[in-house]
Amino acid sequence: AAPRPAHGCGSGALLGRFGVLLQALLALCAFSTLMLKRFKEPKAERRPWRIWFYDTSKQAIGALFIHFANVFLSDLTEEDPCSLYLINFILDATLGMLLIWLGVKVVSWIVQHKKYTYLVFGEYGDPPQAAAWIGQCILYLLIMVFEKTVISLVLLIPGWTKLQQILLGYIPNPQLELVLVMFVVPFIVNAIMFWVVDSLIMRKYKQKDTLDINGSTEAPRARRTEESQVLLSPDMDFDQSESDQDISGLWGTNQKMKQPSYQVVI
């Protein structure tokens, strides 16, 4: 077997004490962006904590699967594990993100076509059901397995060794390389990915195009049209109030001829 490059991090560095500490710090900082996203939502549309947990926990499970799969794949060969992990991570953040988006769209279409209401991402029932959350977690995890399988097949294409040398070959310190690979780059990219994916899988929960009025569902546009028709109807008592009519009747004066008028609301 060929020896490992002297500049790279050694075997088992990703799961060493320092590597595990960086991974724990990464998880704390990355998932804090999801909490920040919740507080950035409008108050009228802000998710309750239980719904927020159901939405974000799916991402947590998927991210943990991808992370440990990358750590496992990075330590299979005699190459620099830090460089291999970074390549896996970059592919997950680019091609993998596209595959996740495609997987969510396909799964959402299938469950809506089959009318599996509780398997629609972001819909948990009223009150929220844990069974719906478990089913959606399984679906999301299957999407992650599909994404990681495709990325692993892409890594079989020759030529990635040269990219490894370009990415981190200029860093002589293994500890610094580990910090860049396990914390700095993943934190920036994960924060963006979590924000985007959270918006994707909770969109159907936030968007409600109908209003429930007295037990019936009515579209807001239809309500506005109906109100406009009422406001545009003839107003036979526009020129004079009933009180004025009574007073004029007591004094024996003739009431004014009232013609239909229209009130136009712009």
Q: Is 90 exposed, middle or buried (0-12, 13-18, 19+ CB in 10 A)?
A: middle
> pLDDT per position in the chain (266 positions), as tens?
444 444 557 667 787 888 888 888 988 887 888 888 888 888 888 888 888 898 888 888 988 899 889 888 888 777 778 888 888 888 998 899 999 999 999 998 999 888 888 888 888 888 888 899 999 999 999 999 999 999 999 988 877 767 766 776 677 777 888 888 888 888 888 888 888 888 887 754 444 443 343 444 444 444 445 444 544 444 444 444 444 555 445 444 444 444 455 455 44
What type of residue is 201? I
Phi and psi angles of residue 217, each rounded to the nearest 5 degrees, phi first:
-105, 125
Per-residue model confidence (pLDDT) at position 163: 72
Enumerate the β-bridge partners of residue 261: 235
**What span, in angstroms and rounded, lies between the C-alpha atoms of 213 and 194?**
35
Domain spans in the chain, listed from the N-terminal domain onward: 13-203
Collapsing DSSP states into helix, strand and coil, what is residue 261?
strand
**What span, in angstroms and rounded, lies between the C-alpha atoms of 73 and 76?**
5
Phi and psi angles of residue 107, each rounded to the nearest 5 degrees, phi first:
-65, -40
- HSE-CB at 244 with a 13 A cutoff on CA atoms is 8
Angle of helix 81-93 versus helix 49-74 axis, rounded to 10: 140
pTM for the full model?
0.67
Per-residue model confidence (pLDDT) at position 146: 95
- HSE-CB at 246 with a 13 A cutoff on CA atoms is 3
